[in-house]
Each structure stands twice: as structure tokens, then as C-alpha cells.
Structure 1
Amino acid sequence: MRVLFIGGTGTISMAITKRLLAEGHKVYLLNRGTRNKELPTGAMGLTGDIEDEEQVCRLTEGMKFDVVADFIAFAPEHVERDYRMFKGRTGQYIFISSASAYQKPPSDYRMTEGTPLSNPKWQYSRDKIACEEFLMKKYREEAFPVTIVRPSHTYDERNVPIGLHGDNGSYQVVRRIKEGKPVLIPGDGTSLWTVTHNSDFAKGFVGLMGNIHAIGEAVQITSDETLTWNQIYRAVADALGVQLHPVRVSSDFLDSCSDYDYNGSMMGDKSNSVVFLNDKLKRLVPGFSAEKRFDQGVRESLAYIESHPECQILDPVFDAFCDRVVEALEQAKEYVRAGR
């Protein structure tokens, strides 16, 4: 296949690129070139700004693709732009949506592609829904060859999936666990969640590429492994060889006392129990199975992060926030006890 990825160097797209190259496909990556040093051998970089339609049309002049996938489309104007540029030039356009678009709070914890799309808590999710609606309208009215993919929480060797962190990612939480400091876990930690290694996601994604049965379809790609947040944090601590010191905190409280957008990422996503049923994916991609168990994948991620200082991004602001929350909860306990 001849493939064009818009973006192409992120957590999800990098694994897909590597898999396609290993299978002998021709892969073009269109991005601004800030991470071109990380491009896998064999990938062809096209340096440009996707927001500049004239520039992109010049870069891809005369080129047609079996598949175009946009990994950095987040709002309707992004997919409208892609539609203008690639209509008639690709056999399949893949939009990366999000499983956070599913109904929140859910009426049923079991998520399928038939679950209603509705998330009043998170603008990010509502924008993804609007993108899907535009593209499916173009499919129904003009046979625009779209496939919609809905990932959930996907990770790679450069990050550890955590339920609550600051603006600089999850490393500060890993550091707190490693140092034996109290770690905030939203809610009581028993809500169900699914994390998927990017190598497993790539298998499902590549199986949908060039697949005539995937045209006009929305497909979720996740692991079949379901964990509680308590189990996820415990697995991280076990991989570090330390004891976990959890402090479980109401998600409402965390959202109300911080400047972070936890209303969207928690109330509209991670605090809801969800279990993904991947029957549709397995029908479209026979033989698909997610093989990387979380306790295995997180050990690989932590080993990589510990050996790569550039991945060890500190977040003193979030660290201080955690300390204040822990202190406030301890003071609240003392206040209540004093009134006995």
C-alpha cells in the first residue's frame, strides 16, 4: 500500500508506521519535521504545515494514496480541510476519533460501536463527535471512503498510563510512587478501565487499512484486558519494586479545587467504568488479539523511561498540588475527629 499519515510520530502512529514498514508498505509522513530524527528507517518525510493547504497540495501534487490517516485532527474544520484536499485522491480516509466520545455517564458499562455518542463533560469529545458526523455525512451522500477508528487509553515505551497527572505527563506520578510519597487515585479506585499498548493497537489499525469491509464503519481498537485503577497503580508500584501509598479522592473534589481540566478528562472519561467489546474489530480483522498484558507493558515502559532522561519530565506544580490535597484531607480527618 501507498500510505500518507498526517502527524505520524505520536504514540499511536509511530507503532503503525513501524509495522507497515516491516510489512513492506510505502509510508509518507506529513508533519512539521520537529521529530524527524525519530522517523523509522524507510519512512519518507514530507515537511509541511497541514494548516497550509496550498503548501500541502504542492508537496503531494500528482500523488494518490491507498490510505490517508490524520492523527492530529481534533475539530470539524480539520476533517473538512482533509476532505477538500484528499477527495478523489485516496482509497480510504481514516479518522482517529476517541472512545471518550461514547455516552457519559454510560447507561451500560459495556462499550460497543453502537453505544450512543454523547459527552456533555468534555469539549474534546464533542469535537470528535462532530468530526465523525461530518465524515459519515460525506460517506452517505458522496461515498467518501471513510473509516472511523476509536482508540481508548493507548500507551507506549515513553509513557505510563495514569489516571491523574498534571500538564507535563505521568512521570511526576511515577516519581512520587518511587519515592514512597502519597499518590492520588481518583474515586475509590474500583472503576473499570482499559489500557492498550500501541503495538497491539497497530495490529488492529493495519488490519483495517485497505479493508473494503471497513469503509463506512466505526471501529474501536482496545485491549480485552480490563483493570481497576487500583490495579493499574499497583502494577506500576510492583514494577518499580516499591510499596504503593494510595490516597483515594473524590473526582468531584479534585475537579473543584484545581485549575486542571479534570471535569473533561476525569468526569467525562476516566472516572467512568467501561469495558470495551471488540467483536466488530475481530470480525473485520480475523485473528486480531491484544497480546501485551499491562503488567508486562508497564515494566517495559518504566525501563525505557529510566534509561532515557528526556522522558523524565518533572512537574513541580502538580507535585505541590498533590501535597496540598493530601494535607487538606489529613486536616479534614483531624477536624472531624476533634468533633467526636
Structure 2
Amino acid sequence: MKVLFIGGTGNISGEISKLVIEKGWDLYLLNRGNRLDKIPEGAKAIIADINNEEEVSKLIKNMKFDVVADFIAFKPEQIERDIRLFTKKTKQFIFISTASVYQKPSAYHMITESTPLYNPYWKYSRDKIKCEELLIEEFRESKFPVTIVRPSHTYGIEKIPLAVKSGKGAWSVINRIINGKPVIIHGDGTSFWTLTHNTDFAKAFIGLMGNRSAIGEAVHITSDEAITWNEVYDCIGNILNVEVKKVHVASDLLVALKPELEGDLIGDKANSLIFDNSKIKRLVPDFIAATRFYEGVKISIEYLLANSELQVEDEEFDSFCDKVIELQEKIISSYKL
């Protein structure tokens, strides 16, 4: 099988690339070449910016693929470009969307692929919905061979799932836990959340590649394990052998103090998300998300502690946490009877 990945070296796509090579498939990675060390041995790099449509068109002029997957398309105009570039050049085009497209708040606790797509809180999600709509319309009008994949919160060795976190990585929160400082969890920490290890995600994704039954379909790939945010932090604390000092702060208050959190919280993490994975299991019958969260995050934490270059401090984030926690403590103290 001849495969082209646009991107191919990220948290999700990197693991899929490894499996493609293991299967002996012919893999091309089209990216800007900023992470050449992440390209698996045996893959062929096409160094270009996908946003330079004219250049990419020339580079793939005489090429055709069994599967093309775009891991870095976020806006409708990027999908319009992909349709122009890959019409009649691939037997299957896979678009990586997001599970945050599902209705917020959900009208039913179990998310299926038929759950309405509606997220007024996050432009990122609304843009992904528009991308999906463009692709489905193209499938209906001209049989463009699209498969839409919706990941939820997918993590791996270099990514630790956290509730309220720094934009510079996980270290700020992990370091606070190690040093006995309180950490912020949105709401009361009892909402359910689904976390999927990237190696599990990759197994399901591979099963969709070249799968004729997946053409014209949208499918999410997630674990069947749903745990609360309190349990997420308790797992991390157990691994670090530290009791986590959890401070619960209302999501609305966090957004009021830091508006850029609205999409990530109100549009995503503040909601309980439990997924019905019947569809992916029907399309890929041998798929099982085998990595329990405790096992997966233990590897991630050990990797972070072993690699000092990943231990990036964020004084602005730490200051924000301290101020929010202090503010809440003052409010509580001033209204105690």
C-alpha cells in the first residue's frame, strides 16, 4: 500500500507512521522538515509546506496513493486545497477531525457518531465541523473517497493529560505536585473523561486505512475507559508517590479570569465524555484499546522526569494558579459563618 501523510511526526501521527512502516507499506511524509529526527526509518520525506499548493502540486504531479491522511488541516480553506490536490490521486482521503465537534453540552451521556455536531464555545471545533461538511458534500457530489476520524483526548510518551495546564507542556503542573503545591482542577473534578493512548489509537487507524467500508463514514477512536478528573490526578500522584493537593475551581470562574480557556474547558473538558465505540469495532473488528490510563501515564511521567529538556518552567502559568487559588481562599474565608 502506498501512503501519504501530511504531517506524520506528531503525537498521534508519529505512532501511526511507525505501524505503517512495520507493515511494510510504502510511506511518504509531506511536511516542512522541522522534525526530521521523528521520521521513522524507511519512510520517504517530501519536504514542503502543504500551504504552498503550487509547490506541492508539482512535487506529487506523477504520484498516486492508496491512502492520503491530513493530520494538520484545521480550517475549511485547507480542506478545499486538499480536495484540489488529491482528487483522483488517492483511493482514500482521511481527515483527522476531533471529538470536540460533538454537541456541547451533550443531550445524552453516551456519545455516538450520530450525536449532533455543535460547539458554540470553541472556534477550533466549529472550523473542524465546517471541514467535515465540505468533505461529506464532496463525497456526495463527486464520490471523493473521504473517511473522517475523530480523536478525543489522545496522549503518549511525550504528552501527559492535565485539566488546567501550561501552554509550555506538563512540567509546570507535575512540578507543583512534586513540590506539594496545590493544582487547579475545573469544576468539582467528578466529570468523566476518556483518555486514549496514541499506540491504541494507531492500531484502530491502521485498520481504517484501505478499508472500503470506511469510505464516506465518520468514526471516533477512543478508549472504553472513562475516569474522573480527580482520578486522573490521583493516578499521577500515586506514580509520583505524592498526595495531590487538588483545588477545585468553577469552570466559569476560570474562563472569566482567563478567557482563552473557554474552548478547552466549556467547549470540551468541563463536559463528561463517554464514548460508544461500536462503530470503530465494527469497522476494525480486532481493535481493543489495551492501555489502561495508569499504565500509559506512568510511562509518560517517567519519560518527562528522565528528560530535562522537557522540564520547561512557566512562571506566568504558576503565577496564575497561585493567584486563582489565593482568590478563592479569600472568598471562602470572608464568607465563613
Structures share fold, TM-score greater than 0.5:
yes
Q: 1:266 is matched by which residue type in structure 2?
A: L
Q: CA deviation at 1:306?
A: 1.1
Find the counterpart in structure 2 of residue 177 from structure 1.
177
1:172 Cα deviation from its structure 2 partner: 0.9
Equivalent AA in structure 2 for residue 313 of structure 1: V
Is 1:108 the counterpart of 2:73? The answer is no
Q: Is the 8 A contact 1:100 1:152 kept in 2?
A: yes
Equivalence for 2:88: 88
Q: Provide Cα deviations, 1:277-324, integer angstroms capped at 9, x if missing partner.
A: 100000000111000000000000011111112222221111110000
Q: Which residue of 1 aligns with 2:160?
A: 160
Of 190-199 and 37-46, more deviation after overlay is shown by: 37-46
In the alignment, which residue of structure 1 is the partner of 2:256? 256
**Partner amino acid, structure 1, of 2:62:** G
Note the alpha carbon deviations across 1:204-259, whole angstroms, 9 max, x for none: 10000000000000010000100000000111111111111000010000000125
**Corresponding residue of 1:54:** 54
Residue 62 of structure 1: CA displacement?
A: 0.4
Give 2:274's aligned amino acid.
V
- Whichever residue aligns with residue 186 of structure 1, its letter is H
Most deviating of 37-46 and 84-93: 37-46
TM-score w.r.t. the length of structure 1 is 0.98
Unmatched runs of 5 consecutive residues or more in structure 2 = none
Q: Where do 4+ consecutive residues of structure 1 move more than 4 Å?
A: none
Query: One-letter code of the match for 2:293?
Result: F
Q: How does 1:255-274 map to 2 (within 5 A)?
A: 255-259=255-259, 261-274=260-273
| Counterpart-to-counterpart distance in 1, 2:180 and 2:109 | 34
Aligned-pair Cα RMSD in Å:
0.8
Determine whether 1:290 maps to 2:289. yes
Contact in 2 for aligned 1:156/1:301 (Cα 8 Å): yes
**Total equivalences in the alignment:** 337
Residue equivalent to 1:206: 206
Tell me the CA shift for residue 183 of structure 1: 0.6
SS of aligned partner of 2:202: helix
More displaced, 166-175 or 140-149?
166-175
Partner residue, 1:228: 228
Q: What is the SS of the residue equivalent to 2:42? A: coil
After superposition, residues 127-142 of structure 1 pair within 5 angstroms as 127-142=127-142
Superposition TM-score, scaled by structure 2 size: 0.99
Q: Which runs of 5+ in 1 are unaligned?
A: none
Aligned to 1:331: 330
Percent identity between the aligned chains? 53
State the distance in 1 between where 2:155 and 2:313 align: 19
